[in-house]
Each structure stands twice: as structure tokens, then as C-alpha cells.
Amino acid sequence: MFKQNDNPLVYSTDVGKIIIEKEKSVTPRTKSDGIIRIQHQKSGRKGKSVCVIAGLDLDDKTLKLLAAELKKKCGCGGAIKEGCIEIQGDKRSELKQILEVKGFIVKYCGG
């Protein structure tokens, strides 16, 4: 008997290893209450401190542009993970000022 396989490819004339791309599962973001929260995190990051900015109801393109602007103005690195912006270092006060100038309501959150 034939065993049904996850790989539907039967024959290909392509050269080399054939890689089948699986669909990416997009996790929906929860709706924000309109308040941006800045949290300083250090645990689980090998002693490196990071400011996590959460609560942004922006699409991916706008979120990337905002993250790039924040990193540039703070003079540090960062990343976007699960709809949150992570900025390296303890830059909470600078981030709050920048976001308030843009018209966001910002609060400090956590430790």
C-alpha cells in the first residue's frame, strides 16, 4: 500500500534539491487600547537590556519605518518581533519623547 506523504511533488525537471515552501501561518495581532507601552527587559537576554515597545496598531510596513526611525534617533540597534519593536539599551525616556511628539499616548510598563 502507498503511504500518503506530506510532499505532493511527484516529478520535476528542475535541477538540484527541490524545496517546497510551506504557507506561513500569520498570527493575528490583538487590538490595542491606544496606549503605547514601553517596557525595559533584561532577563533571558544574557544580561543585555532591551526596551520593548508594544501596543502599536500599525501595519508591517509602517511598523518597520517607525522602528528604523527610532533606531536612528536613539543611535542603537533593534528589531521587530511579534508586532513589538525592540530597541537595544535603556532608552525609555528618549523613546517616550519621540513617540509623544508623533502624537502617541505613551506609558512606562513593567520593570
Q: Are 55 and 37 in contact (CB under 8 A)?
A: yes
- Considering the domain boundaries, does residue 53 fall inside one? yes
How many separate domains does the chain show? Answer: 1
Residue 26 reports pLDDT greater than 60: no
- Considering the domain boundaries, does residue 43 fall inside one? yes
Residue-wise pLDDT for 27-54, tens only, equals 566 677 889 999 999 888 888 899 999 9
CATH assignment at residue 93 = 3.30.780.10
Residue 79 reports pLDDT greater than 80: yes
Among 32, 38, 40, 34, smallest CA distance to 97 is for 38
- Considering the domain boundaries, does residue 24 fall inside one? no
Beta strands in the chain (DSSP E): 35-41, 50-54, 78-81, 84-88, 105-109
Residue-wise pLDDT for 53-77, tens only, equals 999 988 889 999 999 999 999 999 9
Confidence class of residue 88 from pLDDT cuts 50, 70 and 90?
Answer: very high
